[in-house]
Structure 1
Amino acid sequence: METRANYLAIGLFTLLVFAMAFGLIYWLVRFNETGAARMVDLVVPGNAGGLQKGNGVLFNGLRIGSVVSVEWRKDDPAHVYAKLKIDADAPIREDTTVTIASQPLTGLSTVSLVGGSPEKDLILEREAVPVLVARPSQLNETLEAAGKTVQIANATLLRINKLVETNLPSINRTIANAEAFSSSLATNTDDISALMDNIGKASLSIAKLGDTLDSISGNVTDIVKAVEPEKVRSTLANVEKISGDIARNSGEIDGIVGDAKAAVQNFSGLTAGLNTTVSAINGEQLARMLSNVETFSGQLTGTLTKVDGILNAVDQERINRVLTSVEGFASRLDKSGSEIDAIIANAKSATEDVTGFTKTLSENKENFDKIIKDATVISERLIKTSEAVTRLVGRVDGLVEGNGRGLVQEATDAAKSIRRVAESFEARADSISSGLDRFSNRGLKDIEALISQSRDAVSRLENIIGNIDENPAQFLLGGSKVPEYRQRR
């Protein structure tokens, strides 16, 4: 007998199985949900790739909720808005960090909540709906940064390629100039050796000159040391006192100057009368007189030359004696201050006498024509002689100027400077010679090797640029250099 199937029983059993399976799945989904839940708004700036409804919300790696919805808004296309369902007792605080974490294997994203300060408030305890602002996924940021880096690298390589193409003639000329320079150094090795020999000889000559100047500076230093500073100071003090006395008697000196002006005016009238007398002077007598004056001036010039030689040959003891004499003379002048005042007073009266004397000369000018004529010529010669004496006194002042440290000090400093320069050059001459020798021997080979390596580097750079142009993806993302081909089915 054939058994007939009970379709009703089978249908009910199938529905029961589906209901139990649905209940089991629902129980598994709701297993982690304990207590009440809160809705939280999430704002994601930029790219929110992988974030979709049902994705989990994790706090320090533990699941506390899920994503309810994900949407975008027409009025704000730069952000993505999502709603989260989170456990009401989750410890989410104001400074909790919110990020979109991507799962590399599945490609899905989760909302990751990390940390928070205990002193901050819990945002889920507020009545208003909390709003969290998330940072984009690090993977998305990396991909975006990689894309920007690729663009920058591409632009840079294009600029480098353009720069190389534009300046290729200049690069070739630079390499050619380097080769010409190295060949020129190799050709002129003998000239460089001769130059170093000349420098060595010059350093020896400078060293000898330094020794000579050292001895001269030593002698000059001995002369300066022989001058006693105390005597110089006392002499200057006495001169200062004398100048003070003269300043105190400046009023009387002004009167003397006024009287002298009047005397000069009278003397001018006298000279006007003498001009007519000079025009009538006998030429032969004038020639003889000039001859006599020239003989006198020649003898005086020789005497001054001898005096100059004596001053140049003076020794330290004589200088000390001269300073002692000057000091004594200044001291006597200081002690004679009252007498100097009397002399100034007498000079005023003497000026008046000179005025009367000039009047007398005006009355007797005819008797003094010849005397005045001879005195005029002699005065001209005496002026020249006084200039020579002034120069001689200037030399002596230069010798003792600044406590005896004028010309002597400058000569000493110059000698020391020249000696230091000579010693410095002599110390460096061997290193300079050895450096040039090494450069002429090994430097040429190093330059040739550098040029060869530069050519190889340029060639490798051109190959790299060519490979990048042919296959940029291989340069940026890596991979096998051998292309793979798949057979069509």
Structure 2
Amino acid sequence: MSTSDNKRSIIVGIFVFLAIVILIAGIFTLGGQQKRFIESIAVRAVFNDVAGLKTGNNVWFSGVKIGTIKNIRLLGDSQVEITMNIEERVQEYIRKDAVARISSESFIGNKNIVIDGGSQKAAPVEDGDIIKSVSPLNTDDMMETLQRNNKNLAAITDDFKVLSAKVVQGEGTVGAILTDSMLANNFRAMVANLQQASQNTVRASNALTNFTSKLNTEGALANELLTDTTVYSELRTSMAQLKQATTSAAELTNNLNATSAKLNNNNNAVGVLLADEEFARQLKGTMQNLETSTQKFDQNMEALQSNFLLRGYFKKQEKEETKKQEQLKSQPQQPDTTKQQ
């Protein structure tokens, strides 16, 4: 064999060796990414829609990659069973009540499964367990909803554009307020009135505060009425007496009403005196006759005094009367103790 053939064989061997090394490195690299050479357990979850999830996609737990999707299998009733290879070292952190949900690495990136660990009360998952799942958000539904919201926003923008144009032109109440100077002046006056009313309210509140403070001043009448039981008892007694006086006044009024009713009745003497005109004329004539008789009686008495048969008797009576008067004058006068008292 020639020297050139030996060189060619050596070069080919080197390239074959490098190819084998690269192949082995690639196998180990892909196996490491797919967790082929790591001890793992199989955990399953059932979804109604996997939203484009593929075999080999990643499984995440608390932001850490812990496994890959091993198998995707269709079940009845439009359900899909996902089998996940999970590293055995994280088995103790994932509980039987954990929940699996489908997520994505970005808005349009690859799909993956995210596991929420569950509660500490539950036991760790075991190989072959089925955990709960949450249906993923449908991107098509999201886009449809977003498109509908964009249409609504466009309609609202158009309506607001028309409304703002009417406001600028002075149409409607808001436009009139913004463009009519008279309405603006009225609005200012209304605000001024509201401010004045607010000030009056503050003053009334201050006055009420001062009044209540006076009520709490010791020694004042209001405070005595509110706190002193003696004053309250006296006031209560006075009110009782006033009530009794009112009752007595009412009884007196009733008696006066009854008396006035009797005075207006012709069946009694007073009523006859007040109401019967005929009796009044007769009584007046009688009084006139009495007056005439009295005058005649005085004349007769004067005539008797001038009669010589009775003159001595009247003179004797006159002397006795004069003597009594002199005795009264000669007695000392007693002080009037009643006036002094």
- TM-score tier after normalising by the smaller chain length: 0.3 to 0.5
Which is richer in helix? 1
Structure ranking higher on relative contact order (CA contacts 8 Å, 6+ apart): 1
Q: Compare CA radii of gyration and give the structure with the larger one.
A: 2
Length-normalised TM-score, structure 2:
0.42
User: Which structure has the highest strand share of the two?
Assistant: 2
